[in-house]
């Protein structure tokens, strides 16, 4: 049982690798061109499968932490292994999703199919920020019941929600999420939040006292309601709410 949490951590890594495989091997055309020029585009369905693997990795990431605390088998190796898996699942994989979304955004423009890779490189800010944030986390023993900077799983799940929103055209947001400037803005904001020193709420409970854990219960209830009514759009909405709750209840976090 001692190594059970580490096995779940490795499963997190496997799901992250599976996400990358689906991102890179889409197997579908993303743009249709006629004599008059660009006419329409579509998001390869396999990228949405990559999103599902990232969500699965997030669930497993939560389970391995729970098991480690339950069996009291936390270790330095487990901490390092968890961060290494998180870099792949919530850093590299989301970064490649943004890379593909940027390609699609450029494909909508005249001559966009020949876009220079330089214009797509900003997507790699996400894995770089994730690695930086996780390295800082491993060296900071004070982040037991709060986080300093946006947790990488939260950033990864927000990025993972974008292909689903675009593919299923939820609330008409697909037009916004396939504009390159909006994607650049999302990349910059998420990367900044991960490396920032903003104190963020942790969902770990010391006890079940409602008054003491009110911000956590509030966040959980809001997240559940958002998922029911907003589906994939809930992830960016909950992120904004999460940041607001963290700022409003800043004194109660640590």
**In a domain? residue 188:** yes
With contact defined as beta carbons under 8 Å apart, do 55 and 126 qualify?
A: no
**In a domain? residue 222:** no
With contact defined as beta carbons under 8 Å apart, do 150 and 200 qualify?
A: yes
Q: Which among 106, 90, 231, 85 has a CA at the least distance from the CA of 159?
A: 90
**In a domain? residue 253:** no
**In a domain? residue 168:** yes
d(CA 215, CA 254): 12
d(CA 46, CA 104): 14
**In a domain? residue 249:** no
**In a domain? residue 92:** yes
- Give me the pLDDT at residue 142, please: 76
Tens-of-pLDDT digits for all 254 residues of the chain? 677 888 999 999 999 999 999 998 866 555 555 555 554 556 667 899 999 999 999 999 999 887 887 777 778 888 899 999 999 999 999 999 999 999 888 887 777 778 899 999 999 999 999 999 999 999 887 776 789 999 999 999 999 999 999 989 899 999 899 899 999 999 999 999 999 999 999 887 777 788 888 999 999 999 999 999 999 999 999 999 999 999 998 776 65
Instruction: Show the domain range for 62.
Output: 4-202
- Give me the pLDDT at residue 163, please: 94
**In a domain? residue 31:** yes
CATH code of residue 47: 1.20.120
**In a domain? residue 173:** yes
Q: How many domains does the chain have?
A: 1
- Give me the pLDDT at residue 230, please: 97
Q: Which among 65, 103, 85 has a CA at the least distance from the CA of 17?
A: 85
- Give me the pLDDT at residue 252, please: 64
């Amino acid at each position: 049982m001692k190594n059970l949490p580490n096995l779940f951590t490795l499963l997190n890594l496997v799901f992250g690798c599976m996400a990358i495989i689906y991102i890179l091997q889409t197997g579908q055309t993303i743009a249709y061109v006629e004599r008059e020029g660009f006419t329409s585009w579509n998001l390869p369905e396999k990228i949405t499968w990559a999103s599902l693997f990232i969500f699965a990795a997030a669930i497993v990431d939560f389970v391995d932490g729970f098991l480690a605390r339950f069996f009291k088998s936390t270790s330095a190796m487990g901490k390092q292994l968890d961060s290494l898996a998180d870099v792949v699942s919530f850093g590299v994989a989301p970064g490649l999703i943004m890379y593909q979304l940027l390609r699609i955004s450029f494909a909508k423009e005249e001559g966009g199919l020949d876009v220079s890779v330089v214009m797509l490189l900003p997507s790699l800010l996400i894995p770089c920020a994730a690695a930086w944030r996780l390295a800082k986390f491993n060296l900071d023993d004070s982040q037991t019941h709060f986080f300093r900077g946006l947790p990488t799983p939260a950033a990864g799940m927000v990025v993972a929600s974008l292909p689903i929103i675009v593919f299923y055209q939820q609330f008409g947001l697909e037009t916004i999420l396939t504009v390159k400037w909006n994607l650049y803005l999302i990349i910059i904001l998420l990367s900044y939040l991960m490396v920032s020193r903003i104190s963020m709420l942790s969902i770990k409970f010391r006890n079940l006292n409602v008054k003491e854990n009110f911000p956590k219960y509030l966040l959980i209830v809001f997240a559940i309601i958002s998922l029911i009514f907003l589906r994939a759009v809930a992830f960016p909405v909950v992120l904004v709410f999460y940041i607001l709750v963290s700022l409003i209840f800043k004194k109660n976090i640590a």
